Amino acid sequence: MTSAAEQSSPSNTPAADEVVTLLTELIRINTSNPTHPERPAAEWVAEKLDEVGIASTILEAAPGRASTIARVAGTDSSRPPLLIHGHLDVVPADASEWTVDPFAGEVKDDYVWGRGAVDMKDMDAMTLAVIRNWARTGVQPPRDIVLAFVSDEEAGGQQGAHWLVDHHADLFADCTEAISEVGGYSITVRDDLRLYLIQTAEKGIAWLRLRAENRPGHGSMIHPDNAVTELARAVTRIGEYQFPVHLTPTMREFLTRIADATGLPIDLENPEGALKYFGNAARMLGATLRNTANPTMLQAGYKANVIPSRAEATVDCRFLPGYSDELFDTIDQLIGEHVSRETITEDIAVETPFDGAIVDAMAAALKAEDAAGVPVPYPMSGGTDAKSFSLLGIRNFGFSPLLLPPDLDFSALFHGIDERVPVSALQFGTRVLDRFLRNC
């Protein structure tokens, strides 16, 4: 066994050649949450690791809700391990809306198509490709790597990462840093400059159920105490409200580094003014400047001529690190005294500094594959399993490296129709990940 540092730097590795096959196979395993539990995918991962002599363990939080955990030994056992975690579940897909079968894993027009192609079976496949190639060729990383292919991320992780942290924390207790999804992808500024967004923060989650209750009645009569009307007013107030802008440490550094790299006239006193420079990424980045609350579901009544006694709504709220109190206080003011709220799901916001040897290793790996690449930290509007693993004191980074075409609306592919990833981006990402893991 030879250390990764003693190996030549990868340029076109067997791992980059295998990654497409791995991704297409994994996409073909339908793991739509909650209807298709992850057990078949977890077993597939275990088989792929076993083929190259890596032992793994499958753990179930509930029947079928399975995660696969493995550990790859490094050359220096005194160093804390790196955790690589990726979820196996995906959101559902309506085949009638797609150009291709969302679970066929089809390669078409130099893209791999299918549900999970970017969220996040691509990273699962890249990780497996690198680790399998190392096992075949006798490469050993500089420190232990813990692999966690987990269930239930798309539903908040209560039967996935959260459950693992609560019941099997010993598997990850000595890890100090982790990498996972939604980071390391490129935004092209010009031909000689690409920004690679590495996620160092993400907003907290609060999914709320609002309820209005009042007297039922006949739909033909005058009835001022209508639960549907009361709830509709509250939902409208929430949907139309715009929270104030807050510049978090991550967003401040993001804008500062971009101004330095591009020379753009970015005013930190007016961060929203910078959004016009970010093209398709502006929607997501704009959401990381303020708390958000979006009504997503409504339910009331059972017959056209009956005024119901109850009406309910669901609101998807996301809060910036340090601003959860502002969110809940504002929601309570907006719903008024006649509408109640309860929490369906709540999870923390996370943030870590963009510094240290691990960041240096990311930057070096990206630069080696793309001389025009500049890594920058960014906050994400959504949530990942980083929330769970951060409870163990682990620093989390979104680092699933992809070199993307300038005109690809990448953020729209997450949970979107015709989800797909360029073959060249997968191969690029596998090479970057290989370089990074050899030197982190």
Task: State the Cα–Cα distance between residues 26 and 48, nearest whole angstrom.
Answer: 11
Question: Structural domain of residue 89, as residue ranges?
Answer: 2-199+351-439
Residues 6+ away with beta carbon under 8 Å from 296: 314, 315, 316
Task: Clarify whether residues 206 and 254 are in a common domain.
Answer: yes
If asked whether residues 19 and 45 sit together in one domain, one would say yes
pLDDT one-digit tens code per residue, 305-351: 988 999 999 999 999 999 999 999 999 999 999 999 999 989 999 99
The better pLDDT of the pair 207, 220 is held by 207
Predicted local confidence at residue 12, as pLDDT? 58
Q: What is the pLDDT of residues 351-390, one digit of tens each?
A: 999 999 999 999 999 999 999 999 999 999 989 999 999 9
Residue 288: CATH number of its domain: 3.30.70.360
CATH number of the domain residue 422 falls in: 3.40.630.10
**How sure is the predictor about 196, in pLDDT bands with cuts at 50, 70 and 90?**
very high
The pLDDT value recorded for residue 7 is 41
- Do 210 and 318 share a structural domain? yes
| Boundary (domain end) residue, out of 347, 378, 398 | 347
377 and 339 share one domain: no
Q: What is the pTM of this model?
A: 0.90
| Spatial CA neighbour of 90 closest among 58, 123, 57 | 123
Mean of the pLDDT values across residues 293-300?
A: 96
Please determine, for residue 176, whether its predicted confidence score (pLDDT) is greater than 50. yes
Let me know whether 232 and 180 are in one domain: no
Number of domains in the chain: 2
Pair (185, 50) in one structural domain: yes
- Last residue within a domain, chosen from 330, 347, 364: 347
Report which residue type is found at 209: R
The last residue of one of the domains, among 347, 380, 401, is 347
Encode 7-28: b = buried (16+ Cβ within 10 Å), e = exposed: eeebeebebbebbbebbbebbb
Vertex 312: Cα angle to 332 and 97 (nearest 5): 115
Question: Using omega within 30 degrees of 0 as the cis cutoff, is the peptide bond preceding 120 cis?
Answer: yes
Residue 159 and residue 213 in one domain: no
Beta bridge partners of 145: 72, 82
Residues of the chain with pLDDT > 90, as a percent, come to 85
Do 208 and 284 reside in the same domain of the chain? Answer: yes
205 and 191 assigned to the same domain:
no
Asked whether residue 80 falls in the same domain as residue 188, the answer is: yes
pLDDT at 189: 85
Distance CA 91, CA 116 (A): 8
Whether residue 284 is found in the same domain as residue 388: no
Residues 300 and 392 in one domain: no
